[in-house]
Structure formats: C-alpha cells, structure tokens
C-alpha cells in the first residue's frame, strides 16, 4: 500500500469529498477537521516512508508496516463513520426518519470514534515517521 | 426464530441509504431485480440463519468434527442447515442465470453472508469456501471445467476448498513443494501435502473440489512458478456421474480454538499413483488467479470478523439492559434499587466501543462489496478502473481492521457479562474464540 501512490491519491480524493460534504453541517465540522488532519498526517507519513524506500532501506522502512496498516485502517473507518454521520444528519433534519434513535445512535458512535479512536493516529504516525529501528536492530540473541 | 446476532435494520441502512444499491438495477446484469427482490433475499437469509444456523452454533463448537480413520463425522444439524441454504439458491447467489445462479450484486451477497456468519460461522464456512472456489472457476476455468465442476458447486452437490498452505510454507507461498507432473493425456499428477485446509474433508457433499497450488517441474523459482489445479476428491465421469476415488487422503484433522464446526485438515495428495489434477488457465499463473479471487475472499474474512463482533455486541447490549448491578459513584443509599448495567458510564463506553467497531467495519466491508459491483458492472470504463484501484488500496484494510478491532469488540462483550462472560453458558466467549481465527 505504501508503494501505491495512485491508490492513496484516489482514497485521499474520496475522503476529501466526504470532508467537504460534512462541512455543510456545523455539528459535523469537528469530525471533518479531525479527518482532514488525519489524512494530512498519513500522507506525510507515507511520503517519509517512501523516501526511506527510495534510499534502498527497504527492510528498515517496512519494519513497522503492521502499525501503518492499523493507522491507515483507523483513518478509513473514521471516513466511513463520517459518511454515516452525514446520512444520519440529513435523515434527521428531514424529519422523516421512522426510527430517529437509529440515526442518533449513528451520530453518537461517530463522535465516540472521533474522540476516543482517531487520536491514536498521531502517535502511530510519529513512530512510523521516525523510521524507528528498535525492532529492526534487535538481535535474536537478546531474547 | 428471530435472528439476534446482527441488525437487519443496519444492513438495510447500508444497502439503501449509504450505497443506494437499487441504482444497480439499471445495469444489464441486474436489470431483472428491484429493491423488493433484494429485501426478500435478505429476509430468506435471516430466516434460514435464525431457524437452522444459530440454534446449533454452540453445539457444533462443543462437538467438533471427528475422524475415525475412514470418515469424518459432523453433527447432523450442519447438513440440514446447508440443505436449506442450498435449496434457497445461496450457493449461486452471484453466478449467472444460465448456470443456475441468482445473479445478485456482491453487496447483497455479502450482506447475506454477514447474516449467516453472525448466526454460525463454523457452518457458514463450507459455503464460503465453495463460493470462493466456484468464483475462481467462473473467472478462469474452461467451459468444460465449469460444466463439470463449477455447475455442481452452484447446485450444492459439490463443495470446494482452497489449498495454498503447506506444513513448511504458510505465509511464504514461494516455498511450496507440491508438484504437478504433466501427463500425455493433458492432465497432471499431483503429489504433496497441504496444511490447514478448511473444509478439506467431510461427508456433507457428493464430492469435494480442491483448488490446489503446485509447481510444475522445470518452471521458474518462487511465486512465478506456481500453477493452479482442480483436484477432485472423486473423479467426475464425462456424463457428470461420480467416478473413482482420486488419490487425495485425509492425514488428520486440526483441532482449533474456534471455527470448530468447519473441519480443518492436513491433506496428502498422491501417496500412491499421484492425484489427478486439471490445470486452470495457463501454467505459472496460479497465484495470480488465486489472489484475484482472494480479493473477494478477503472481504469475506473481514466481514466474518465484523459479524462475530456484531453478534457479541448485540448479546452484551441485551445483557446490559437487563442485568441490575451497582449504583452510580455518588449513590450512597444501599437500600435504593440497583441500576441496570447499561446506566453505568463505563459500560456505555464498552458498548460504544463495540458499536463503533462493528458498524464501522460493516460500513467498510459493504462499501468494498459495492466497489466489486462497480468494478464488474459499472457502465463506464473510467468508473470501473477507479473502483478497481480503490478496491486494491482498501482491501488490506478490509481484512485487517475488523480482524483486529472487532476481536477487541468481542473482548468488551465478555467484559460486560462479568464472570458469566467467561463461561460456556453464554455465547460471548465462543464469539471471541471464533473471531481470533480471522486473524490468520
Ligand atoms: C482457521 C484457519 C483456516 C485456514 N484455512 C486455510 C485454507 O483453507 N487454505 C489454506 O491454504 N490455508 C488455510 N489456512 C492457513 C493460513 O493461511 C496460514 O495459517 C497462514 O498462511 C500462516 O501460515 P503458517 O501457519 O505456516 O505460519 P507462518 O508462515 O510460519 O507464520 C508464523 C507467524 O509469523 C509471521 N510471519 C511470517 N512471515 C513473516 C514475514 N516475512 N514478516 C513478518 N512476519 C512474518 C506470520 O504473520 C505469523 O504470525 C488457515 C488457517 C487457519 C488458522
């Protein structure tokens, strides 16, 4: 995925469309801003890892690939929560929801994900960007 | 029985309000369908899952399949449930009409699979593998192979498997050793051992069609030298009748912490004269064929994790609503009524964490399924290419995120049940064990 520049660009474009839609609703702007931040963070992280790969430090650059996938995954899920929150907001403002609690539930769960889970992206990114060599350099003998 | 392991309201929300799947009905492939058809299919899935899958979920876990040296024994409820599944046409849910399929979109098919998975992931494992194998044949098999092997899978008479892993080669498929030697008649003789093969042996179907990765001697080293073969348990005669036993045998069953209802096997190919295998497509392209199909299978794995997370979430939610325990931190009066668990902020945190994980995971998986539909049927080339690129980029997340974070959700479900959560009298510990295997 880290090598897949075109794929990441397309995901970024789709996420940006969602952010723009969400910004139409005051209640969602907090989440839209967080998602924008996370997207920027992940692009920056990806570029940093990409540079390391270009330098030929492939094994070191990919030492934390699992963490990258978790971080990227959190952003993607955050994106889908915002997509759901937009639909729920529209539904509730139209006043035609058969079961309003269902949509309120979507908004609360979205808020939960953004306040409790999205902040994990930053420390993941800090570690990955630092191209940390703790695990890479650890010798099998020390265990 | 009403199905309590997943929310049909939530599934409909995704299909209707998030994805607008009825837009697909304007495409040729789905033009005979409308929303009512999609709804009816989901209702049928819910009913079969509730009546025949969920009731033996625990029994299948506690009575795992056994091998007496000749045959594998599985509790009879599994075959009964699968018979209803097959009768309703689910084995051919995405296949073309002219081979007996229902030609439904991937998003609807995946929604059904979430329903069955949440009810009983062990029993749902057999069709999961069979559908995966029949999809490979649909895309890469010859007409003759489709007729002989794929159509009986759609009818539910034959089941399928995916034989990639070997005892010494799991993650690193470039190191597989199974060999395929070409014969004068165009077939191959397969020899080798395949490990961890789900649904590799059972008596649930007339035949088992193994799709086997093997190396043709003299081919390139590594993954570029891997080819894909059809290796049936029983040979199939020209008239479609079941022929001789092929040289494939069960070395033993693996006993797992979860997914116990699905047999997991070590298979020996070619201990005697060599197992007869039929090449799919061209030599040395086997891994490409397998992985193309695996993209859809990986959505299935992610969805399996979501479904088990969902089942735990809904169970612990009901429990929290009905279990009186404790008072608020500021509630000093011991004679006052106890609160229901759901009134405690920390229990609400555990519920929200589950809700955010499983509903978020479901959104992603069904979005990915919808991309599969766009990749295959979008009217314009640019949209197809875009869907395909998005899907390639997101698929690793579709598999990995639910496997990690919906497992975490199952952990929270156990926590909400307190001491009861760890016991086999309640279903949440099984959901956790089952879900841990989605990580493989
Ligand atoms: C329930 C279940 C069903 C299965 N069904 C099937 C099936 O139907 N068909 C089939 O072919 N296979 C099946 N498998 C096999 C599964 O795909 C393998 O278990 C998997 O490929 C891992 O292989 P392994 O067990 O040999 O572990 P290994 O490859 O030995 O890996 C051990 C650990 O090391 C890690 N690891 C390995 N290589 C690297 C590396 N280069 N860098 C970092 N970490 C690494 C792995 O991620 C893993 O955590 C199934 C497995 C399970 C548990």
Test B360 with A81 for CB contact under 8 angstroms. Answer: yes
Q: Mean pLDDT over residues B43-70, rounded?
A: 98
- The C-alpha angle A3, B285, B398, rounded to 5 degrees, equals 45
Q: Which of B9, B349, B389 sits opposite A7 (nearest CB)?
A: B389
CB A38 within 8 A of CB A118: yes
User: Where are chain A's structural domains?
Assistant: 7-129
Hey, is the C-beta of A14 within 8 angstroms of any chain B C-beta? Answer: yes
B160-285: CATH topology is Butyryl-CoA Dehydrogenase, subunit A; domain 2 (2.40.110)
Question: Pick from A37, A49, A66, A70: which is nearest to A4 by CA?
Answer: A49
- pLDDT beyond 60 at A2: no
User: What pLDDT was estimated at residue B280?
Assistant: 98
Span B172-185, mean pLDDT?
97
**Distance (Å) from the alpha carbon of B82 to chain A's nearest alpha carbon:** 33
CA nearest ligand 1 atom 47, residue: B171
Give B359-379 pLDDT, tens digit per residue. 999 999 999 999 999 999 999
Calpha distance B358→B13 (Å, rounded): 14
Q: B8 touching A, CB under 8 A?
A: no
Fold for B8-158, please state it: Butyryl-Coa Dehydrogenase, subunit A; domain 1 (1.10.540)
CA distance B250 to B201: 7
Confidence band for B438, pLDDT divided at 50, 70 and 90: confident
B222 CB neighbour count, 10 Å cutoff: 13
Question: What confidence score (pLDDT) does residue B262 get?
Answer: 98
From chain A, the residues in CB contact with B351 under 8 A are none
Token couple for B69: 């040296």
Residue with tokens 């009748």: B241
Summarize pLDDT for A82-116 with one digit per residue, the tens: 999 999 999 999 887 889 999 999 999 999 999 99
Contact residues, chain A, for B352 at CB < 8 Å: 108-109, 112, 116
Q: What is the pLDDT of residue B175?
A: 95
Q: Do A112 and B360 touch (CB under 8 A)?
A: no
Report the residue count for chain A. 143
User: Which atom of ligand 1 approaches the CA of B163 most closely?
Assistant: 11
CB spacing of A11 vs B396 below 8 angstroms: no
**Could you give the CA distance from residue A115 to residue A126 in angstroms, rounded to a whole number?**
19
Q: Rg (Cα) of chain A, in Å, rounded?
A: 18
Q: Residue A106, Cβ neighbours under 10 Å: how many?
A: 24
φ, ψ (nearest 5 deg) of residue B17: -85, -35
What does the pLDDT look like over B70-123, one tens digit per residue?
A: 999 999 999 999 999 999 999 999 999 999 999 999 999 999 999 999 999 999
If you average pLDDT over residues A40-65, what whole number do you get? 96
Q: Kindly tell me if the per-residue pLDDT of B130 is higher than 60.
A: yes
Integer angstrom CA distances of residue B387 from B28, B182, B369, B371, B384: 18, 39, 10, 5, 5
List phi, psi (to 5°) of B175.
-100, 15
Q: Looking at domain B288-436, does it have CATH number 1.20.140.10?
A: yes
Q: What is the pLDDT of residue A95?
A: 82
Residue B131: band (very low, low, confident or very high) from pLDDT cuts 50, 70, 90: very high
d(CA B11, CA B363): 9
Per cent of chain A over pLDDT 70 is 97
d(CA B156, CA B143): 19
Ligand 1 centre distance from Cα of residue A79 (Å): 30
Q: Is B266 in the pocket of ligand 1 (CB under 6 A)?
A: no
Residues B105 and B175: beta-carbon distance below 8 Å:
no
Residue B440 pLDDT grade (very low, low, confident, very high; cuts 50, 70, 90) = low
With an 8 Å Cβ cutoff, is A41 touching chain B? no
Give residue B439's pLDDT.
Answer: 65
**CB-ligand 1 contact for B198 (6 Å cutoff):** yes
The beta-carbon contacts of B24-29 under 8 Å, at least 24 apart in sequence, are B24/B105, B24/B107, B24/B373, B24/B377, B27/B377, B27/B378, B27/B379, B28/B377, B29/B103, B29/B376, B29/B377
Domains B8-158 and B288-436 share a fold: no
With tokens 């799991």, the residue in question is: B170
Residue A16 has pLDDT above 70, yes or no: yes
Distance A135 CA to ligand 1 centre (A): 21
**Predicted local distance difference test score (pLDDT) of residue A96:** 77
* Range B17-21 contact pairs with CB under 8 angstroms and sequence separation of 24 or more: B17/A87, B17/A91, B18/A83, B18/A84, B18/A87, B18/B363, B18/B366, B18/B367, B19/B107, B19/B366, B19/B367, B19/B370, B21/B105, B21/B107, B21/B108, B21/B370, B21/B373
Residue matched to tokens 């409790």? A116
Tell me the per-residue pLDDT of B257-276, one tens digit each, with 9 for 90 and over.
999 999 999 999 999 999 99
d(CA B266, CA A76): 37
Residue bearing the CA closest to ligand 1, atom 11:
B164
Mean predicted confidence (pLDDT) in B306-320 = 98
Among B169, B184, B182, B192, smallest CA distance to B216 is for: B182
Domain ranges of chain B: 8-158, 160-285, 288-436
Give yes or no for residue A4 having a pLDDT over 80: no
- Say whether pLDDT at B30 is over 60: yes
In chain A, which residues have their Cβ closer than 8 Å to the Cβ of B392? 4, 7
- Does A141 score more than 70 pLDDT? yes
Pairing, β B158-163 against β B207-215: parallel
First to last CA, chain A: 31
Q: In the predicted model, what is the mean pLDDT of residues B196-217?
A: 98
**C-beta of residue B370 within 8 angstroms of C-beta of residue B21:** yes
Handedness of CA B33, B35, B40, B43 (dihedral sign): positive
Kindly list the residues from chain B whose CB atom is less than 8 angstroms away from the CB atom of residue A80.
360, 363-364, 367
Average pLDDT, chain A: 95
pLDDT in the model for residue B54: 98
Determine whether the interchain pair A109/B18 forms a contact, defined as Cβ–Cβ distance below 8 Å. Answer: no
The chain-wide mean pLDDT, for chain B, equals 96
Is B345 in the A-facing interface, judged by CB distances under 8 Å? no
Any residues with CB less than 8 A from the CB of B303 and at least 6 apart, and which? B110, B113, B114, B117, B362, B365, B402
Residue of B nearest to A118 (CA): B356
Q: Do B364 and A117 touch (CB under 8 A)?
A: no
Residue B292 scores a pLDDT above 80 = no
pLDDT in tens, B373-430: 999 999 999 999 999 999 999 999 999 999 999 999 999 999 999 999 999 999 999 9
Q: Separation of B167 CA from ligand 1 center, angstroms?
A: 10
Nearest Cα to Cα of residue B210 among B256, B285, B270, B288: B270
Strands (E) across B16-55 are located at: none
Q: Separation of B173 CA from ligand 1 center, angstroms?
A: 10
Of A1, A77, A116, the CB nearest to B393: A1
């Amino acid at each position: 995925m880290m090598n897949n520049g075109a794929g990441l660009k397309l995901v970024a474009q789709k996420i940006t469309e969602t952010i723009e839609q969400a910004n139409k609703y005051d209640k969602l702007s907090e989440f839209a801003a967080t998602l924008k931040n996370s997207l920027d963070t992940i692009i920056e992280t990806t570029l940093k890892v990409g540079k390391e790969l270009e330098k030929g430090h492939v094994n070191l650059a990919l030492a934390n690939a699992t963490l990258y996938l978790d971080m990227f995954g959190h952003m993607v899920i955050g994106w889908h929560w915002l997509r759901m929150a937009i639909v729920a907001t529209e539904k509730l403002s139209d006043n035609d929801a058969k079961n309003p609690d269902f949509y309120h539930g979507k908004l609360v769960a979205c808020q939960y994900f953004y306040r409790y889970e999205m902040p994990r992206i930053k420390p993941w990114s800090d570690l990955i960007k630092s191209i940390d060599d703790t695990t890479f350099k650890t010798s099998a003998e020390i265990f | 029985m009403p199905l309590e392991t997943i929310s049909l309201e939530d599934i409909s929300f995704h299909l209707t309000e998030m994805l607008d799947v009825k837009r697909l009905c304007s495409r040729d492939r789905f033009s005979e369908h409308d929303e009512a058809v999609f709804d009816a299919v989901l209702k049928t899935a819910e009913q079969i899952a509730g009546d025949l899958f969920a009731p033996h979920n625990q029994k299948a876990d506690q009575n795992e399949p056994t091998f007496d040296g000749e045959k594998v024994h599985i509790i009879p409820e599994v075959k009964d449930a699968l018979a209803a599944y097959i009768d309703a046409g689910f084995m051919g849910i995405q296949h073309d009409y002219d081979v007996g399929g229902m030609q439904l979109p991937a998003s609807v098919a995946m929604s059904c699979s979430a329903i069955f998975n949440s009810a009983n992931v062990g029993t749902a494992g057999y069709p999961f593998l069979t559908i995966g194998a029949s999809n490979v044949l649909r895309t890469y098999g010859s007409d003759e192979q489709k007729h002989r092997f794929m159509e009986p899978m759609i009818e539910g008479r034959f089941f399928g498997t995916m034989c990639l892993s070997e005892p010494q080669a799991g993650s690193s498929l470039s190191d597989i050793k199974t060999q395929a030697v070409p014969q004068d008649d165009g077939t191959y003789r397969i020899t080798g051992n395949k490990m961890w093969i789900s649904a590799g042996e059972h008596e649930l179907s007339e035949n088992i069609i193994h799709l086997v990765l093997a190396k043709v001697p003299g081919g390139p080293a590594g993954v570029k030298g891997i080819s894909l073969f059809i290796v049936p348990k029983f040979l199939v005669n020209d008239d479609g009748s079941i022929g001789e036993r092929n040289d494939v045998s069960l070395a033993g069953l693996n006993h797992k912490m979860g997914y116990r209802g699905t047999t997991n096997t070590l298979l020996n190919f070619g201990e005697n004269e060599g197992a007869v295998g039929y090449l799919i497509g061209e030599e040395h392209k086997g891994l490409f064929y397998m992985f193309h199909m695996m993209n859809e299978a990986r959505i299935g794995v992610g969805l399996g994790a979501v479904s088990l997370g969902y089942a735990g979430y809904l169970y612990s939610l009901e429990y929290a609503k009905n279990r009186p325990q404790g008072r608020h931190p500021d509630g000093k009066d011991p004679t006052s009524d106890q609160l229901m668990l759901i009134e405690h902020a920390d229990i609400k945190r555990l519920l929200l964490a589950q809700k955010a994980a499983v509903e978020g995971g479901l959104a992603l998986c069904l979005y990915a399924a919808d991309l599969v539909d766009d990749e295959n049927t979008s009217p314009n080339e640019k949209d197809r290419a875009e869907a395909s690129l998005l899907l390639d980029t997101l698929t690793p997340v579709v598999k990995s995120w639910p496997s990690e974070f919906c497992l975490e959700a199952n952990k929270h479900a156990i926590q909400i049940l307190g001491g009861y959560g760890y016991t086999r009298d309640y279903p949440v510990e099984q959901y956790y064990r089952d879900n841990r295997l989605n990580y493989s």
